[in-house]
Structure 1
Amino acid sequence: MGHHAPLLLLDVVRAGGLLVTSPAWTWRDLAALLSPDELVAAGDSLLRRRDAPNRGGYLSQPDPLCGMQELQEVLQRRAGNRGASTARTALELMRPGADSAQETRLRLLIRRSGLPEPAVNQWIIGPAGQRVSRPDLQYVRLRIALEYEGEHHLLDPDQWHRDIARDDGLRRLGWVVLRFSKKHLRPGNQAAAAEKVRAALLTRGWRPGQPA
């Protein structure tokens, strides 16, 4: 069933030859349908970095599809609509830079486990000033990198080779590299995945209650 909404010009964009609601407005609509974690993942997808991998499909807009300010503005205008509480909760947990929903889910799992929140997709610079790697998540001071390995990494031999070289380069610089797959994010495996991160943090000198 359709519904009427007081749209402004900035709330409408063209995609695939059709007029559709803007990314920010659509995200706010989804707040009435999705769980907080799902809405965070959807929001992180809007905030991807400018040089993120190509999305494909008919969406011609470059990343990021919108900014935090646009999302906050739409949320304020629609504060009385269904899903407002979910949207406010999700907005506080969203972070720019994630490449995939699974990276977001891993970050939320770490946070929910009482561990320090890692940084998202930041370049690691080598001793000669060269860019070495940009892990999905990382603890910069402790030199811990976390990589989520999607299935395409295993199916593409060239990508798999690059991943191995990437991790070898980080280890030569003294970094610990933790790798995760979709099985780590399943309910029965989440506690072990969080413990994997906790153990690495403790090994590097972190103590509960301290920043990482």
Structure 2
Amino acid sequence: MEPNPYPAWLSQVREITQTPATRQAFEALKNAATPDELAIAAQKATAAVLADIAAEMAPLGSQANMPGFSNTPQPTLLEQLGFTQVSPMNGGVYHVRSNPTNGTAPVEYIALLYSPVPITPATERLQLFTQRVPDPLPIDVSPLQIQTHWHSLDARRLEESGLEPITVDLPAGAQLDTLQVIEYARPGEAGRIRYCVQLPTGDVVCYN
């Protein structure tokens, strides 16, 4: 194997890392001696840096125009699909847990309900994008940090990411012509807004 090529630029990258775990991950990457060690160390270092970035961006993810959500007693679309909400919704992004009925262990996901176009009374279906939360999680990565990262993404990019969405039928007879638009400030550059609506079921849907 040729000498590990990473140390030449690692010193520059490590200056921007924030946590001991991230610095440790880069140290392991620098010292990797075999292809297998290098692959594992690179994966851990990438996860650690993403966690640092997400943690830094989290305070920027506040709502730009956040009307109060209604607390409806009706079952939500997510619940009807077999998910239970684990933590508060953040910028249109959910942290949910599957609720299996076949005896298998529950699995946690980051999830986002999406409509390619604004919802109208003619809308029949939505898309639900999900990403399984790794178990075990990489060093210094939390579900909240993954959720925050999804909040920073342009929702339409999920269509281009290769994630296979679940098709979700809207409830029959739902009043969709009076939905109030919710604006979330996405983390990062100023002016990056995510547009959402809250359905009569209580579910929040992002759209282009």
Higher RCO, Cα 8 Å, sep 6+:
2
TM-score of the superposition, structure 2-length normalised? Answer: 0.28
More strand by share: 2
More helix by share: 1
- Higher gyration radius (CA): 2
